[in-house]
Structure 1
Amino acid sequence: LGDRVVSDDPFERDFDLRGRGLALNPTVFTERRVLWNLLEDSLPAAAYPVRAVGTLWEATGAPPGDPLARVVGPGRAALLHLLDTPSTTTDLARLTGMSAGNVSQHLAALHAAGLTSRTRQGRHVLYRNTDAARVLLRASQGG
């Protein structure tokens, strides 16, 4: 708001930084609050919680050397490995690093082959592996 930083902080605070600037640092080490460093003798800084930290250490697709990737391609294999959990196209694009359009094309092919199902939940369409995809994944892992 103009020359102000507004945060969802339970404590009402108003600081004059006197032109010293403010370093904004995203962090995974705080969950809900902004951590402020507003001491007179140091650079003013705020560490704020990043979004989607719950997915930070999640798998991003097919494991290296995955035999399934040789059959259906690395993009589709990556999606099948992630679709044990219902996910949107946007979620899958973020996790795999593919564009949303590319993910959408792969999902359309997987759905046409009967390997994914889709359900609408509000404004979102969630994709998930079918039983056929789970059998294919197990077979590719030698089990």
Structure 2
Amino acid sequence: MGWWQVDADTLARGRFVVSPLSEAISSLKLLQGHAPAVHPGERSWLAEHLPAFRELVRADPLTPLLLDAAFRPHWNADFITPTPAAEGGQSFEEELAVMRARSPQEVHDDLTVALGSPPPPELCRRDLADRAADVVEWVWRQTVLPQWPVRRRVLEADIVARTAQLSRGGWAAALDDMRPGMRWLGGDRLQINTHEHAPREMSGARLLFVPVSFGTSWVSWEGGRRYAVVYPCAGALAEPGRPPAPEALGALLGRGRASVLVLLDAPRSTTHLVALTGLPLGSVGRHLKVLLDARLVRRRRAGRSVLYYRTGAGDVLVNSQDREGE
């Protein structure tokens, strides 16, 4: 069992950050097959981008060898999953520069740890950091960047929900379901996975929690200064298979307004609602105003975004439709 010794001050200073590079790496891991495509949105995304990714990999025999060595079942090579900056807010290019700056010796050492033995001769070369960064950059530009405004708001919505969970139930409530194998053990111990790793004492370090869109997760650290837990956010990237709003609720509120209310089971921005409903931005804004005035939803700010979520009255109204016919 791997666990971190986290003192009260370190935990109190923990923060959630959005990392564009982590989002790209999460997408790469899904393309690599290191996580199952669970949600309809993930399967749709894979169907769209997997053929081009496979073509990219086939074009250079070194690429699959490098990616397979860097992403192992129990450990990632550290150079390919750099720890985000403590303050967050870095651009993708700034984060990717950290990966490119890894020295050949650091890359060799990281691959040795991930593989459990020295890398094969084909990977004993000086340009591996740049080659890996080139693949990550392709994933970012071809598969993530076109969706990034929506993805970012989904991640921010997850942070708002986690922060609310933290305020209600403390760190144990916020951390226990964050990623598989992770839970608060009590005292000052945070279990991060179920693998056998030596405990790490992290007094005085910065502890970061980084949501990503897909069902991938990992941990990383930079020396003894920064530790990061990358975890899958609660909301799917897209939900084409989501059932429509109940007919009776649509008759009461109007179909568009009912759809918006149903989607607000988790905090979402207007941009996210536009993406999920297909409604124009102005229509979503008008529906939200009516729902706010009726006290069926509330709003709060998360960074530069305003996120909307259902009130208790809104929950009752939506959930009552599930009991029709009982």
With structure 2 as the length reference, what TM-score do the two structures score? 0.30
Partner of 1:57: 239
- Once residues 130 and 136 of structure 1 are traced to their aligned partners in structure 2, the CA distance between those partners, rounded to angstroms, is 10
1:75: Cα distance to partner? 0.6
Larger relative contact order (C-alpha < 8 A, sep ≥ 6)? 2
State the partner residue of 1:17. none
Segments of structure 1 that go 5 or more residues without pairing to the other structure are: 1-7, 10-26, 40-45
Structure 1 residue 60, shift from structure 2 partner: 4.9
Pair 1:28 & 2:49 matched: no
Match of 2:277 in 1: 96
In the TM superposition, what is the alpha-carbon distance from 1:89 to its structure 2 partner? 0.2
Q: Within 2, Cα distance between the matches of 1:68 and 1:93?
A: 20
Matched, 1:123 2:326: no
Cα deviation 1:68-114 (Å, max 9, x = unaligned): 11000001110111001100000000000001111011001100000
**Inter-CA distance 59–117: structure 2 relative to 1 (3 Å threshold):** farther
1:106, 1:57 → 2: CA distance? 20
Contact 1:60 1:95 (8 Å CA) reproduced: no
Q: Distance in 2 between matches of 1:59 and 1:72?
A: 22
Distance 1:60 1:91, change over 3 A: farther
Structure 1 segments (4+ residues) deviating >6 Å:
none
Q: Counterpart amino acid of 1:121?
A: A
Q: Deviations over 1:12-68 (max 9, x none)?
A: xxxxxxxxxxxxxxx52679xx541438xxxxxx884354574233555634x5211
Picking from 69, 86, 104, the partner of 2:267 is: 86
> Which consecutive residues of structure 2, in runs of 5 or more, have no partner in the other structure?
1-23, 26-44, 61-137, 152-212, 214-235
Over the matched positions of the two proteins, sequence identity in percent amounts to: 32
* Equivalent pairs, count: 112
Specify the code of the residue in structure 2 equivalent to 1:110.
L
Matched residue type, 1:112: D
Contact 1:115–1:130 (CA under 8 A) maintained in structure 2: yes
Q: Which amino acid aligns with 1:55?
A: L
Tell me the secondary structure at the aligned position of residue 323 of structure 2: coil
Does residue 38 of structure 1 match 2:59?
Answer: yes
Distance 2:293 2:241 in 1: 25
CA distance in 1, matches of 2:290, 2:272: 18
Larger helix proportion of the pair: 2
CA distance in 1 between counterparts of 2:238 and 2:248 reads 26
Q: Name 2:20's counterpart in structure 1.
A: none
**Distance in 2 (alpha carbons) for counterparts of 1:102 and 1:61:** 20
Distance of 1:125 and 1:57 partners within structure 2: 21
